[in-house]
Structure 1
């Protein structure tokens, strides 16, 4: 096991802390901005170095495809016995448009099923949601992407969530406010949504745990 350089340790810690805090690995651009790199390419080089040293895995086909390996007391990755490949595939329903007032996993909303490698995701998702629009563009979530979602009725501050508000199901970053929450858009062209009190027309449907870019399928 090669020792990490000070900079590599910073990148590794940032990735691990982002997953622990939000359930979502950072994008290369977010790593670059946080650590003062000149470009996302510099972040990519550090990630590839960490992958070569065996402390993370990089998954193709997903913009946030970074998986942190658990480290032992001697800072070496734990070894895991992998199940048979057929057992490693998740069958996830793809949810398209959601009819107002109906459960998000209702049969009429399911467009297809995808076989996915669980290693792509920070935590095991329950379904894929087709992203519509560009309100989360600066978080690396684009129109047409498939957002992997774990069902949940609560979330931590800063997590990217799927929320139901009136007749709409929307993807936003959760920000807790006194007396309510704010749903943060990651695109200055879109307004944030402030929800106060405990309105009947608002609920959390789930937490984002990964992303599949359809252009890379």
Structure 2
């Protein structure tokens, strides 16, 4: 028999469920700490471990939003269960400017929809992100292009990722060794971004799976 939750653990669990229901993804340790008045994200981490031991959540290590609800994972998926299904009837949402601190697929960020089906890309794309800047130009990701992004927690070293760091969203090549992550540009004019996961929040929004040149519908998968 599963041990009952303490009042504080119940508060943490309720906040996780509320966040996932409202935003579609789980909170970070820092967000839990702010919402419930903890002194540091470490306190939130301890509660998450306790909740995992009691079987009410599953924690995916190495990701800032790596919290899953086993009850939801066990439910069979229907056409409306995946983030991209709601948009697939209109095509892929094109994300323009992303406001600091807000979810990348918030309605106010969607410029329009592209008629390409998600399955055009492998793995399937969940949205298109309009590229700003020239930091990835040496691998053919240019200013004004649309980067097709697949939302996933599973990141391999060397992949092109969409990363959120301190409320800024950037496209870079991902490298990790222990607690250290390097977000590397593909342009020598741009210095790499170094992240210490022990002290900084880093969220991976997904991986790049293709490019639409100049946003004109000519896809380069």
Q: Give TM class, smaller chain.
A: 0.5 to 0.7
- What does residue 96 of structure 2 align with? 96
What is the DSSP-based 3-state SS (H/G/I as helix, E as strand, rest coil) of the residue aligned with 1:111?
A: strand
- What does residue 66 of structure 2 align with? none
Seen in structure 2, the aligned counterparts of structure 1 residues 145 and 177 have a Cα distance that, compared at 3 Å, is: same
User: What is the CA–CA distance in structure 2 between the aligned matches of 1:139 and 1:100, rounded to whole Å?
Assistant: 27
User: What is the CA–CA distance in structure 1 between the aligned matches of 2:120 and 2:136, rounded to whole Å?
Assistant: 20
String of CA shifts for 1:153-175, please: whole Å, max 9, x gaps.
34110100000011310000001
What CA RMSD, in Å, does the superposition of the two structures yield over aligned residues? 2.0
- The yes-or-no answer on 1:201 pairing with 2:201 is yes
Report 1 or 2 for greater relative contact order, CA contacts < 8 Å, sequence distance ≥ 6: 1
Give the C-alpha shift of residue 139 in structure 1: 1.2
User: What is the CA–CA distance in structure 2 between the aligned matches of 1:139 and 1:128, rounded to whole Å?
Assistant: 18
Give the C-alpha shift of residue 179 in structure 1: 1.9
Q: Which runs of 5+ in 2 are unaligned?
A: 1-87
What is the DSSP-based 3-state SS (H/G/I as helix, E as strand, rest coil) of the residue aligned with 2:108?
A: helix
- The yes-or-no answer on 1:127 pairing with 2:96 is no
**Which TM-score applies when normalising by structure 1?**
0.56
User: What is the CA–CA distance in structure 2 between the aligned matches of 1:148 and 1:215, rounded to whole Å?
Assistant: 11
Seen in structure 2, the aligned counterparts of structure 1 residues 90 and 118 have a Cα distance that, compared at 3 Å, is: farther
Check the 8 A contact 2:92/2:118 in 1, yes or no: no
What is the DSSP-based 3-state SS (H/G/I as helix, E as strand, rest coil) of the residue aligned with 2:163?
A: strand
Give the C-alpha shift of residue 198 in structure 1: 3.7
User: What is the CA–CA distance in structure 2 between the aligned matches of 1:129 and 1:137, rounded to whole Å?
Assistant: 15
Task: Figure out how many residues of one structure are paired with residues of the other and give that number.
Answer: 130
Q: Which runs of 5+ in 1 are unaligned?
A: 1-87
- What does residue 187 of structure 1 align with? 187
Give the C-alpha shift of residue 199 in structure 1: 4.1
Give the C-alpha shift of residue 122 in structure 1: 2.1
Check the 8 A contact 1:91/1:113 in 2, yes or no: yes
User: What is the CA–CA distance in structure 2 between the aligned matches of 1:149 and 1:189, rounded to whole Å?
Assistant: 25
Check the 8 A contact 1:92/1:116 in 2, yes or no: yes
User: What is the CA–CA distance in structure 1 between the aligned matches of 2:212 and 2:183, rounded to whole Å?
Assistant: 22
User: What is the CA–CA distance in structure 2 between the aligned matches of 1:216 and 1:94, rounded to whole Å?
Assistant: 12
User: What is the CA–CA distance in structure 2 between the aligned matches of 1:119 and 1:152, rounded to whole Å?
Assistant: 15
Check the 8 A contact 2:92/2:117 in 1, yes or no: no
- What does residue 11 of structure 2 align with? none
